[in-house]
Amino acid sequence: MKKIFILILMSACLNLAGQTEKRINGIRLETGFLFHWNTLNTDHYIDYVSPSGPNSASGLTGADLRIVFPTKFMNLDLIAGTLFEKCWDSYLTSSHNYSMNGGGVYAGISPCIKTKNFGFTSLFAIGMLSYKEYFYYAPDSNLSSIIERKKYSSGPGAISSLGIYGRIGPVGVHPQLQAVFSGGSNASFLFYGFILPLTVQF
């Protein structure tokens, strides 16, 4: 009888441990607001010829959506996601036009230290990213004096981040510091900033 009781107790403990691990390691959906500074990509030529002075985008805002997949390793997750962003200080007039936007898809690994309700995370991802910066200025009606500048990146890129997460039940938050690199034959862009996603654990 004593042996049966011990077996039942051990079985219950193993089942509880499995449920706890499932709650910690379940698939997680994250979506939220992102902000990236553009100071590392300032185009001084655009700033010089712009009639309004410094003109390059000061930053970009957008959204990030990702799915976090657990692995058999407690401290390693797999990530797949997408992001899109654009500058908030774009404008369009009859003689002056400026815009900047971009985004793409990515996948990578997330080494982490996590418990059921709290943890520290990182992200190392590669993806296909594309960004475009466009400037147009017509100082007068003479078409020969039009100034136009196009810069764009398209192809492989990289994303990295450091963050913390906290959750109550299936819902939580996961603020992160983030850097994004997008390269190409025409231009390369490097952004840094943060994202503030909400998370849902399944």
Does residue 12 register a pLDDT over 80?
A: no
In this predicted model, what pLDDT tens digit does every residue of 87-125 receive, in sequence order?
A: 877 666 666 788 889 999 999 999 999 888 899 999 999
SS3 49: helix
Domain limits, the chain = 27-201
Which comes out higher in pLDDT, residue 141 or 32? 32
CA distances from 160 to 27, 104, 144, 192 (A): 20, 14, 44, 10
Which pLDDT score, from 0 to 100, does residue 126 have?
Answer: 97
Give ∠ CA 66-71-75 in degrees, rounded to 5. Answer: 90
- Domain 27-201, what architecture? Beta Barrel (2.40)
Q: Which long-range contacts (CB under 8 A, 24 or more apart) does 44-47 make?
A: 45/149, 46/98, 46/135, 46/149
Global pTM value: 0.80
Does residue 16 register a pLDDT over 90?
A: no
The residue type of 7 is: L
96-100, 162-166, 186-190: least confidently modelled range = 96-100
| pLDDT band at 196; cut points 50, 70, 90 | very high
DSSP 191: E
DSSP 95-153: SEEEEEEEEEEEEEEEEEEE-SSEEEEEEEEEEEEEEEEEEEE-SSS-GGG-EEEEEEE
| pLDDT band at 1; cut points 50, 70, 90 | very low
Q: CA 47 to CA 100: how far, in whole Å?
A: 14
In this predicted model, what pLDDT tens digit does every residue of 115-132 receive, in sequence order?
A: 888 999 999 999 999 999
Note whether 62 and 81 are within 8 A (CB): no
